[in-house]
Amino acid sequence: MRLGPAAVVLSIAIVLVAAHEHHDELSEDEANAPVDAILWIHMFLQAAVWGIIFPVGMVLGLTRSRWHVPLQSTGFALSIAGFFLGHAHKGRQFLPSIHGTFASILFIPIIAQLFIGIYLKLHIHERSIRPYVVFAHGILGKLYPILGWVQMLFGAVTFRGYCRGGHLGQCLAHYIMGSGFIAYAVIMSIILLVGEAWVRRSGRSPEFWDSLIITLWVLNTFTEHHGGEWSVKDMQHTILGVLWWCGGILGIWLSRNNQRNVVPAIIIILTGWAMSDHAQALAISSKVHSMFGRTLMLAGLTRIIEICYFSPTDNGTTSAGFRAFRHLPPFVSTSVSLLFMSATDEELQFVHDNGMDHVTYILIIFSLAFFMYTLIVYLIHLSTASGRNAPTKTVENADMSRGMWYDRVPLAEERTPVRDIPLHTIGEDD
């Protein structure tokens, strides 16, 4: 009986998806109709759930916080409500899209997490099946920010009707690489803010991982020319692919024995220089690409400065200068990602047709970058200040966090009391 609500929700969702009317062809009135309040609520609600609530809940789950379950449960309920709203709006209509298809696919991890949560709440099979279910629960939870990011991108392009026909290739190039820069910014933030100890234990310098990813971009060498005459853009994009894997190989070699090097940063600077002078059809597109290229060059420069002047010392200590400077490289990378994803021909044509200049458009993008990097830094801070990582943990609240329904059963040798953290260490700077 306890699985009843989940089954009911799943059944309703399947019926709703099957019954929703899709438009294979749209009249001009349907395509240009005003956006009603229901659709606006759907967009803001789902963005809040998948962009904020679920990532925060994921971090609280990693730290075994008591607030993990209530927050994720609230997110599940709001997401399902938002799904219904997305199928109930009037006004503007849309062609069948990947956004609608992926919304239905997202019910798989949602329902899976719900069933897993109920199973774990029963506290059965403690020493046999449960550890594997806990592992699966963690993997699914960590996928939620990625799934949410992808679905929000799908929603944005569906809302504007982008990426159809001959524009699909450019959309894929901009959104995939732009998302890669966001992932790079997140990973760099974690390494620079709280991950130095992990880097030391891994025996690999950060530039090894940078160089490895850059080398794997060898595929870009073979995807930019599709037969016929070579255009200037074909040649530029192809040689950039060659630049990346040639430089990436050098970076991997120089990173042996955990040594740091500036090769990945130089590759980023050269790529930024190429993009800053990349020929475009519209004047506003040329200016936005120029700003993207210059920001990318700045990202490479800040990384060189961090490596050469602000790296932690051999004994693990960091200077005040490093603690202040360490935010600059990941923030610039976040800005680069949003600039690149906002520079497709369709987006800039829309901006041009609505009379907006490049200065206003670029400032809007940087505003979003500030907001996004704030969220990234907050999530990292939350991981160090919540649940079992809370600096004010005492025996009483430690006992409450141990043995929660999503935690594995501790072995006998692990059942030791948690000592209070000395008061003089609370609030110390990292």
For residue 35, list its beta bridge partners.
Answer: 91
Mean pLDDT of the chain: 81
SS3 91: strand
Q: Is the pLDDT of residue 272 over 60?
A: yes
408 pLDDT tier (thresholds 50, 70, 90): very low
Is residue 81 classed exposed, middle or buried when 0-12, 13-18 and 19+ CB atoms within 10 A define those classes? Answer: middle
| pTM to 2 decimal places | 0.79
Taking each helix axis as running N to C, give the angle between helix 107-121 and helix 4-19, from 0 to 180 degrees, rounded to the nearest 10. 170
Closest of 34, 26, 37 to residue 95, by C-alpha: 26
Is residue 79 within 8 A of residue 103, CB to CB? The reply is: no
Average pLDDT over residues 103-108: 90
SS3 35: strand
Q: How far is CA 365 from the centre of its chain?
A: 16
Angstrom distance (rounded) from CA 255 to CA 243: 18
Provide the sign of the torsion angle of the four alpha carbons 145, 188, 252, 173, taken in this order: positive
Q: Is the pLDDT of residue 426 over 80?
A: no
Is residue 172 within 8 A of residue 363, CB to CB? The reply is: no
Task: Please give the full DSSP string across 128-177, using - where no structure is assigned.
Answer: TTHHHHHHHHHHHHHHHHHHHHHHHHHHHHHHHT-S-GGGHHHHHHHHHH
SS3 326: coil
Q: Is the pLDDT of residue 407 over 50?
A: no
Place of tokens 């009986």: 1
pLDDT in tens, 130-158: 999 999 999 999 999 999 999 999 999 99
% of the chain with per-residue pLDDT over 90: 41
pLDDT in tens, 180-233: 889 889 988 888 888 777 777 878 888 898 898 888 877 667 666 666 777 777
pLDDT the model gives residue 392: 66
- Non-local (6+) Cβ contacts of 404 within 8 A are 64, 66
CA–CA–CA angle 9, 11, 14 (5° rounding): 110
Angstrom distance (rounded) from CA 36 to CA 90: 6
